[in-house]
């Protein structure tokens, strides 16, 4: 499912227009993104948690030349599914 399909499904489920549903979805995604940029954790009960983790610098390898390459430290967004979401998916 892509974003357009998600908007259409949510619009049908809520009875809202696709345009309004798209605005709500975009606002939610923008809010989650802004919170992560500030270093905050976003917890959605029954769904999961979005947070930012620090990834340390490490040495990788160039697959063509096999030479070591320094990979710098960075911050990455991560998502951890809640137990309820994992259980629901596992039952399918």
**Three-state SS sequence of 49-89:** EEEEEEECCEEEECCCCCCEEEECCEEEEEEEECHHHHHHH
Give the pLDDT band of residue 92 (cuts 50, 70, 90): confident
The pTM score is 0.82
Helix (H) or strand (E) segment spanning residue 17: none
Q: Residue 16 pLDDT more than 80?
A: yes
Residue 11 has which token pair? Answer: 């619009």
**Residues in the chain, overall count:** 92
Residue with token string 């990979």: 71
Q: What pLDDT score does 62 carry?
A: 93
Helix (H) or strand (E) segment spanning residue 39: none
């Amino acid at each position: 499912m892509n974003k357009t399909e998600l908007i259409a499904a949510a619009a049908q489920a809520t009875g809202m227009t696709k345009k309004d549903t798209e605005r709500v979805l975009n606002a939610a995604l923008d809010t989650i993104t802004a919170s992560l940029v500030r270093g905050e954790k976003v917890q959605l009960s029954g769904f999961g948690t979005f947070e930012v983790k620090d990834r340390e610098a490490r040495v990788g390898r160039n697959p063509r030349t096999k030479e070591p390459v320094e990979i710098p430290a960075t911050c990455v967004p991560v998502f951890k599914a809640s137990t309820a979401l994992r259980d629901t998916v596992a039952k399918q």
